[in-house]
Structure 1
Amino acid sequence: VVNSVALGINIDNPGDINDFYRIGKKLGEGNFGSVAKAAVKATGAVRAIKTIPIPPTKDERRLDFLRHEIKISKMVDHPSIIKLFEVFENNKKLHLVLELCRNGDLWEYMKSSSAGSSGLSEFDSAVVMQQLLRGVHYMHRSFICHRDLKAQNMLLTFKSKPPTTSTKSQPKTSLGKVAALLATATSTADNKESPFENSIRITDFGLSCNFNHG
């Protein structure tokens, strides 16, 4: 473990990331960095590597975002939250080694043809919300506030190919029925497993913070 001069936080691995990972296809790119698929050289385990150029020291706002993202990501360990394995710093770039989520984010899925014109079924919606609320409950019990929860920050990792839903319109559901669905959602409905079971991963902790009890 070494200390990052730019960020003032501990970096897990002082070595060169290319000595430990085979970095492959780029999966996406945004304003603040890119994400590529990678494999651990020693084991073949598949990962996602988020590469972020380290901002100049005068850009304190972006530096704070990075500090918070790394600090909070290291603190959390929950099935509904993306896992950060380790962090590298090479050539003025940070490399975050993350759990690979193969199916994009919930927002893109909802806009795609896979979701159909009616969106998710009531049961699948309940399964998604149950995972989200479990993750939020865990964070709040750990005195962490995410502060940027939205569909774009919920990644999907389906066990098999992404599910499709009917394009027929679905009847509206009362608030009471929604509450009942959330309370009783399990991995089976009408003897069928929901494809969304264990599929949600909360990500992006740049705006997160710790808070005091009470």
Structure 2
Amino acid sequence: MNEYKWLNYKKKEYSVLISNDRKTYTGKDGHTLEEDKNATVQLEVIIEEDEGKSLPIGIIVGIAVGAWAIVAVIIIIITVAIFIIKKKKASENTLETNFLLDRHAPDVIYQTFDVEKIKKIGKGAFGTVYKMKEIKSQRIVAIKKVDYDSDEEKQRFRKEVSVMRDVYQILQQAASSLTNISASQRQFIHVVEPLGYFLNEDEGKAYLVLEYCENGDFRKYIQKMKDSGTEISDAKAFELIRQITLALNQLHVNGIIHGDIKPENILLTLDFKVKLSDFGLTRKLQEGKEYTTNHGGTTKRMQTIAADIWSFGILLFELLAQKHPFFNSNDIELSPLEIYNRIIDEEPAELPDHYSKNLKNLIKQMLIKDAARRITAGAILEVHEVATSETNN
């Protein structure tokens, strides 16, 4: 059957003839051709033969199934991609590796140690430190991640771990042997406790697990004071001096030189007790000798111990004056030689006037250029204001 397209030009409507007698078209009123012959005009044949022109049902079904298959594949790809992304994030936040248990036998006893990353809390030249939670015990720890590219760097990391472990054990033994102080004082060690380490050989990464100190490092403490415009009182300054000096004295009386005293390496516990960290440059004095050996050379005992006090004095000056004793904000382009000459030849700046004379003099004694004349940790603890400062340490 042929179908014809008609125009009802009065109503401005197109219609299609659908009857075999060609008298009825699909107008809205169902008029016959004779009744409305003056209103309609034949335009063209729009379908000559309808037989064989429609798509077979099998092809239509095949197209539909193919379309659904494509949609299903896309959904699977998206699902797999999401799973891979989540797995990658989980692997970044969870470490599953061998954890050192026996500090006396570093290559013997291991177990799986699973931790969840909480946040990054610090970054330095030798690694990044994260706050993490040990999944099994729920204990919060600090983990220092170090990337190493050679066996030499890996051995340097192992050496740092070994030195830190030895230092902590020496201080533990020394504290337990004291009989003229309280038990609580003997138990407190002013050094961050090393809890273990592990190596990821495949990725060239090393991890040092440490005791976590809730109030961060001294650099953040100083910055917080600057941001708030708060100045430390004399009483608070002497209290902090006592705590840090106790930490240094613990090392020095046991023949240990920290070698890298700076705000980032002085940590504060939940109750603001001081703990020292980062023993990468630490040295041990030779037993029965007045010198220490380091990188093939010898250094006098007084010079090495006094270097810790010098660094301590710089730190305290920064805390109280909120600037460096030998440089200011305009000195960022000084050459290494100019920096050296200024420290060697010039006297440190003066602390603000509102600080007491005794506090100023104490810090000046820490910054005496002659190491032999510089005040010692033991002498600092005997200063009246330090000895009588209110502290639980």
Report if the CA contact (8 A) 2:192-2:211 is conserved: yes
How many angstroms apart in 2 are the aligned matches of 1:82 and 1:115? Answer: 27
2:269 pairs with 1:173 = no
Deviations 1:133-179 (A, max 9, x none): 1111111222211011122211123339xxxxxxxx87221227963
**Aligned with 2:387 (options 155, 177, 183):** 183
How many angstroms apart in 1 are the aligned matches of 2:223 and 2:134? Answer: 33
Query: Which runs of no fewer than 5 residues in structure 2 stay unpaired?
Result: 1-97, 173-187, 273-351, 363-382
How many angstroms apart in 1 are the aligned matches of 2:108 and 2:248? Answer: 26
**Could you say which residue in structure 1 is the equivalent of 2:192?**
82
Report the Cα offset of residue 15 of structure 1: 4.3
How many angstroms apart in 1 are the aligned matches of 2:245 and 2:145? Answer: 29
Deviations 1:175-197 (A, max 9, x none): 2796321011123xxxxxxxxx6
Q: CA, structure 1 residues 181+118, in 2 after alignment: closer, same or farther (shift >3 Å)? A: farther
How many angstroms apart in 2 are the aligned matches of 1:121 and 1:63? Answer: 45
Q: CA, structure 1 residues 136+104, in 2 after alignment: closer, same or farther (shift >3 Å)? A: same
SS of 1:142 mapped into structure 2: coil
Report the Cα offset of residue 68 of structure 1: 4.2
SS of 2:191 mapped into structure 1: coil
How many angstroms apart in 2 are the aligned matches of 1:141 and 1:181? Answer: 22
**Could you say which residue in structure 2 is the equivalent of 1:56?**
150
How many angstroms apart in 2 are the aligned matches of 1:126 and 1:54? Answer: 41
Q: Which amino acid aligns with 1:73?
A: M
Deviations 1:22-72 (A, max 9, x none): 33322233333221221222221111111111341355xx853x3442122
| Counterparts of residues 103-114 of structure 1 (less than 5 Å) | 103-113=215-225
| Counterparts of residues 1-214 of structure 1 (less than 5 Å) | 10=106, 14-18=110-114, 21-57=115-151, 63-64=155-156, 66-75=157-166, 76=168, 77=172, 79-91=189-201, 92-113=204-225, 116-117=228-229, 119-159=231-271, 171-175=354-358, 179-187=383-391
Report if the CA contact (8 A) 2:99-2:110 is conserved: yes
How many angstroms apart in 1 are the aligned matches of 2:241 and 2:110? Answer: 39
Report the Cα offset of residue 100 of structure 1: 1.1
Report if the CA contact (8 A) 1:101-1:156 is conserved: yes
Q: Quick check: 80-89 or 104-113, which moved more?
A: 104-113
Report the Cα offset of residue 116 of structure 1: 4.6
Q: CA, structure 1 residues 118+23, in 2 after alignment: closer, same or farther (shift >3 Å)? A: closer
Aligned length: 171
Structure having the larger proportion of residues in helix: 2
How many angstroms apart in 1 are the aligned matches of 2:270 and 2:262? Answer: 19
**Could you say which residue in structure 1 is the equivalent of 2:82?**
none
How many angstroms apart in 1 are the aligned matches of 2:138 and 2:208? Answer: 18
Query: Which runs of no fewer than 5 residues in structure 1 stay unpaired?
Result: 4-8, 161-168, 188-196, 199-214
SS of 1:10 mapped into structure 2: coil
Q: Which runs of 4+ in 1 moved over 6 A?
A: none
**Could you say which residue in structure 2 is the equivalent of 1:163?**
none
Report the Cα offset of residue 114 of structure 1: 6.6
SS of 1:52 mapped into structure 2: strand
Q: CA, structure 1 residues 54+11, in 2 after alignment: closer, same or farther (shift >3 Å)? A: farther
Q: Given the two structures, how large is their TM-score scaled by the length of structure 1?
A: 0.65
Q: CA, structure 1 residues 119+68, in 2 after alignment: closer, same or farther (shift >3 Å)? A: farther
SS of 1:186 mapped into structure 2: coil
